[in-house]
Amino acid sequence: MDVISFRIPKELKRKMEEININWSEELREYIAWKIKKWKREEAIKNMEKIRNMHKRSNIKMSEMVIKSRKEH
């Protein structure tokens, strides 16, 4: 595993120490969740772009899928 460090205010650090939580694990899980969320949002944006392109070209998405499957 790699190490990442960052600075936080002293008051926040003090509050963290009051709570019995594995902060490393919490932060790893949050970062993994945030990355998945970002990737999902990017995929949705890309799908919307593709859908809008095909709406303008008057080609049905089902026809595009069938054509793509035949090509592979």
Distance of CA 49 to the CA centre of its chain: 17
Domain ranges of the chain: 39-72
Residue that has been written with the tokens 């990017």 in this structure: 42
Q: What is residue 19's predicted lDDT score, i.e. its pLDDT?
A: 96
Structure tokens at 27: 């932060």
Q: What is residue 70's predicted lDDT score, i.e. its pLDDT?
A: 85
DSSP 25: H
Q: Are 61 and 51 in contact (CB under 8 A)?
A: yes
Average pLDDT of the chain to the nearest whole number: 88
Whether pLDDT at 55 is above 80: no
